[in-house]
Amino acid sequence: MNPPEVLTPERIDERVSAAVDALRSRPQISNVFLTACGGSFALMMPLQHVLQSSTVLEAHALNAREFTTRAPKSLGPNSLVVLCSHSGDTPETVEAARFAREQGALTIALTHELESPLALASEFVIGYQHGDAKRYAYTSAPILYRIIHALVDRATSSSTLAPATDAVAALDGIVEGLLAAHYDRADAWAKAHARSGLIYTLGSGPNYGSAYSFAICLLQEMLWVHSQGINSAEYFHGPFEITDFDVPFIDLLGLGVSRPIDERTHAFLVTKSDDVLTLDAAEWDLALVPEALRPSFAHLVFTPLLRLYAERLADHRGHPLSVRRYMWRMEY
């Protein structure tokens, strides 16, 4: 048996290049399906936003089970299906890859496990780094960002992949500085919310995926805190009625066309709740990121920043993020 492949930046870049070459050489790509489950599905939401706002391609972010049960009639040889599963053995995502290939679609999968069922079921596979020794630029979300910009270039005859790749390469430094700057604030917030049973998270546009993932994965799954990721564009259409002085919110303010949505929500929120944590992308130093990319790039920074707040909350609650009640412990 061959030893497992070491996921060095160089080897990851080779696999990204192979996938990019494959989508470039495809005679026609008329639609894109972005499919996964849970936290991996949340990564697909901003990619849909990028594609829909910059190309005429049909782009659909779908939960993997929804993808196979809907069986979209437009899925076929002119489709690209992008999938992601950290373990590579999420049954719904593996089945989605098999289903997509049966319809003739080009499949590109991301996983940390290159010998996993998802890797074996997909045409092109990109492994990504994970754990303490990782470079964030070589984890799943930044790699997906590069793949999508290759697709944007193909669809629009533009040249966004190179600047997007350079921006991703700068991520580790950007995030490291921001986490250091936020540590004390995150710790104080976590101490104040060590016994909170409910926390809402707001975001819109390309950043809604970060809010959604923080709510369902970090708060609900890992910390057993009741939560909901609320799209700020939907806030005034129902959710704002639960706003009160003692209800905690995390409020993500993005950049670009979605920012007015976030600002309107923020302006109301802070007058009704005394417990609002606002994370504002306009306060970050993104000098190394081209201005045109910053609105869609922000989600790559919000995600690790929110993780810091979750890690500090886990410490103050005495509940490690690795603890589960059901997951990995029983059949379901």
Q: Which amino acid is at 299?
A: H
CB 202 within 8 A of CB 232: yes
Global pTM reads: 0.96
pLDDT digit string, tens, across residues 53-84? 999 999 999 999 999 999 999 999 999 999 99
Q: Is the domain covering 9-167 a CATH 3.40.50.10490 domain? A: yes
Q: Return the CATH architecture of domain 185-317.
A: 3-Layer(aba) Sandwich (3.40)
Lookup result for tokens 């919000």:
302
pLDDT digit string, tens, across residues 306-315? 999 999 999 9
CB 235 within 8 A of CB 262: no
CB 249 within 8 A of CB 273: yes
**Domain positions in the chain:** 9-167, 185-317
Rounded-to-integer distance, Cα 169 and Cα 250, Å: 28
Which percentage of the chain shows pLDDT scores above 90? 95
Pairing of strands 31-36, 58-63: parallel
Q: Is the pLDDT score of 1 beyond 70?
A: no
CB 201 within 8 A of CB 253: no
Q: Which amino acid is at 250?
A: I
Rounded-to-integer distance, Cα 200 and Cα 61, Å: 23
DSSP reduced 3-state for 139: coil
CB 298 within 8 A of CB 195: no
Give me the mean pLDDT over the 196-208 stretch.
Answer: 98
In the prediction, which pLDDT does 332 show?
A: 86
9-167 and 185-317: same fold? yes
Rounded-to-integer distance, Cα 82 and Cα 80, Å: 7
**Could you tell me the CA-to-CA distances from 11 to 108, 127, 302 in Å, in that order?**
16, 9, 27
Mention every residue, 6+ apart, whose C-beta is less than 8 A from residue 273. 243, 244, 245, 246, 247, 248, 249
The continuous run of DSSP H or E covering 189 comes out as helix 171-192
CB atoms near residue 237 (< 10 Å): 9
Lookup result for tokens 């979750």:
310
pLDDT digit string, tens, across residues 234-261? 999 999 999 999 999 999 999 999 999 9
